A and B are shown apart, each in its own frame.
Chain A
Amino acid sequence: MLLEIKDLWVRYKGADVLKGISCGVEEGTIVTFLGSNGAGKSTALRAICGLKAPESGEIWFNGERIDGMLPHHIIKRGIGHVLEGRALFPYMTVLENLKVGAFLQKDREQIERNLQEMFANFPILKERQQQQARTLSGGEQQMLTIARALMGSPKLLLLDEPSLGLSPMMIRQIGKIVKQIHERGVSVLLVEQNARLALGVAQQCYVFETGSIALCGVTKEMLDNDQVRKAYLGL
């Protein structure tokens, strides 16, 4: 197991947002956390990255316990996080945003290789590389924030609601990008409200409901089950 969460409890201002969840991501897979707003999915990602300290429970990454570590130390261990709302550096150019994504990378040639790879996979970013990030459209910003996370060559990519605010065409594009990332050997943990997108790419699925995991299983089996599909996935 690349990422393992054991009995995690997270509290915000006295209210339990995550109630003892246990789940994981096998190396080389795409896993999705599904559920409606406020179900706790994003909180789980924030806990993994150290942005939110859990009340109790364990988080393991690559055989090392990471809960309680500082965020920049966790990132150093090979996790990339595409935050909800993108968290771009708005007044920095596309190129500068990407360079900051490679902050931990010491090898200059590797950074250049990563950059060229990003430009090849996201040609619109190459075109707009001197533009400030805030001038990009929603879809372009989403691509930039994903590319920025990939500049750090992560082993595990956390994607928080990438489809938010995007057109159906862009959402399909995001799906393709997630598959490409996976093909290159990066494991992906995708948090989504858009079940169609998530189940189109993920192999494993956890359905969150008010802070607990209501259902989990292999995507294909869940889609084959009518009851599950209608009740939990809304499809």
Chain B
Amino acid sequence: MGTTIGLQDIIQCIMNGFCMGGTYILVGLGLTLILSIMSILQFAHGEIYMLGAFTVYFLCVMHGVNLYLAVFISMLSTAVIGLILERVLLRPLKGLFLSYVCATTGLSLMLQTGVVLAFSKSTKQLPSLWSGAFNVFGIMLSRERFVAIVIALILTLALYLFLKQTKYGLAMTASAQNREGALMQGINPNVMSAMVVAIGSGLAAVGGALGGSIFNLDPYMGGLAFMKGITLIVIGGLGSLPGAVVGGLILGISESLFSLFFGSQMGVVIPLLLVIAFLIFKQKGLFGHD
């Protein structure tokens, strides 16, 4: 390697870890909530993330809409797509587990192909959230990564408040922890499903937009995002919001640090090792519910 790693590198690396962790959390929150409330693994969730990024590309790069506005619109429009997805594809298949797997896998392929047809396979770029860097005590910190962290933080906090303070949020939390118990309080399971897929999709869309802005976007970016989401669930535990947050941060920061010290290949291997370790030693994850 030959180059010495300085303090700036490490601090930037940790910040990068928080930033990547933030995008993973935005993907993983939806995935874990959908899994715990509906007992289905939404195999097209990565493509929802990708769709969110491409919606921003369409609005911002192709039609000149302000980037932040485009991200906001993408969050809402992708949430609506989630609602349609739940109503049209997921609800009719209620209880048929294998059908869910086929349907969502099929949907993911369809979305990928659809985006390729509409936008071509080439890798694209979104404008930066905030170009340049802060100078903090002599250390240069990327502004756009800082913004991404703030956005992920705000959305996670908003979700937390929703789940803890609102009637429907409490109902969703309850549905994730005991489905029959929730039914016996008069909670409509279809409304719960619709809400969780909509919210999860909206969050994933923002994750995609952030990823597309800081790095780049292509029609196949969803696969990796989905993998990160699954890893996050294994580490953090199913159905737990704090678990998703901690899992995402552990994933992001460990990837970043290992990449820095041992090269980028290690950065890819780390999540896989973490998954194996947790599955062996702590199957419920750090905060997992049953």
CA distance A72 to B171 in the complex (A): 13
A71 sits at the interface (CB 8 A): yes
Contact B171 A103 (CB under 8 A): yes
Closest to A148 in B: B185
Please indicate the chain A residues that have their CB under 8 angstroms from the CB of B170 in the complex. Answer: 92, 96, 99-100, 103
B92 sits at the interface (CB 8 A): no
CA distance A167 to B183 in the complex (A): 29
A93 nearest CB across to chain B (Å): 10
CA distance A83 to B183 in the complex (A): 11
Q: Which of B173, B181, B289, B290 contacts A83 (CB 8 A)?
A: B181
Q: Tell me how many residue pairs across A and B have CB atoms closer than 8 Å.
A: 67
Contact B180 A87 (CB under 8 A): yes
How many residues in B have their beta carbons less than 8 Å from beta carbons of A? 20
Contact A49 B184 (CB under 8 A): yes
B interface: dominant SS? helix
Q: Which of A72, A91, A99, A148 contacts B183 (CB 8 A)?
A: A72
Contact B184 A90 (CB under 8 A): no
Contact B289 A72 (CB under 8 A): no
Contact A71 B178 (CB under 8 A): no
Closest to A50 in B: B183
Contact B174 A72 (CB under 8 A): no
Contact A51 B180 (CB under 8 A): yes
B170 nearest CB across to chain A (Å): 5
B8 sits at the interface (CB 8 A): no
Contact B181 A51 (CB under 8 A): no
Contact B186 A76 (CB under 8 A): yes
CA distance A49 to B186 in the complex (A): 10
A138 nearest CB across to chain B (Å): 17
Contact A103 B187 (CB under 8 A): yes
Please indicate the chain A residues that have their CB under 8 angstroms from the CB of B188 in the complex. Answer: 72
Please indicate the chain B residues that have their CB under 8 angstroms from the CB of A91 in the complex. Answer: 177, 240, 289
CA distance A145 to B86 in the complex (A): 31
Contact B178 A90 (CB under 8 A): yes
Closest to A100 in B: B174
B182 sits at the interface (CB 8 A): yes
CA distance A100 to B183 in the complex (A): 11
A52 nearest CB across to chain B (Å): 11
A40 sits at the interface (CB 8 A): no
CA distance A103 to B192 in the complex (A): 13
Contact A87 B181 (CB under 8 A): yes
Contact B180 A83 (CB under 8 A): yes
Q: Which of A72, A89, A103 contacts B167 (CB 8 A)?
A: A103
A41 sits at the interface (CB 8 A): no
Q: Which of A83, A88, A90, A103 contacts B186 (CB 8 A)?
A: A103
B189 sits at the interface (CB 8 A): yes
A186 nearest CB across to chain B (Å): 16
CA distance A90 to B240 in the complex (A): 12
Contact B184 A75 (CB under 8 A): yes
Please indicate the chain A residues that have their CB under 8 angstroms from the CB of B181 in the complex. Answer: 83, 87-89
Closest to A82 in B: B184
A101 sits at the interface (CB 8 A): yes
Q: Which of B167, B171, B178, B290 contacts A87 (CB 8 A)?
A: B178
Please indicate the chain B residues that have their CB under 8 angstroms from the CB of A71 in the complex. Answer: 183-184
CA distance A72 to B173 in the complex (A): 17
Contact B186 A87 (CB under 8 A): no
Closest to A149 in B: B184
* Known contacts A96-B170, A100-B171; A90/B177 CB under 8 A: yes
* Known contacts A51-B180, A87-B180; A92/B174 CB under 8 A: yes
A125 nearest CB across to chain B (Å): 17
Closest to B164 in A: A96
Q: Which of B180, B182, B289, B290 contacts A100 (CB 8 A)?
A: B182
* Known contacts A72-B189, A90-B289, A96-B170; A83/B177 CB under 8 A: no
CA distance A101 to B171 in the complex (A): 9
8 Å CB interface, A51-86 against B: 51, 71-72, 75-76, 80-81, 83
B50 nearest CB across to chain A (Å): 32
B: residues with CB less than 8 A from A are 167, 170-171, 173-174, 177-178, 180-189, 240, 289-290
A: residues with CB less than 8 A from B are 49, 51, 71-72, 75-76, 80-81, 83, 87-92, 96-97, 99-101, 103-104, 148-149, 152
Q: List 27 A-B contacts (CB under 8 A).
A: A71-B183, A75-B184, A75-B185, A75-B186, A83-B180, A83-B181, A83-B184, A87-B180, A88-B178, A88-B181, A89-B174, A90-B289, A90-B290, A91-B177, A92-B170, A92-B174, A96-B173, A99-B170, A100-B170, A100-B182, A100-B185, A100-B187, A101-B185, A103-B185, A103-B186, A148-B185, A152-B186
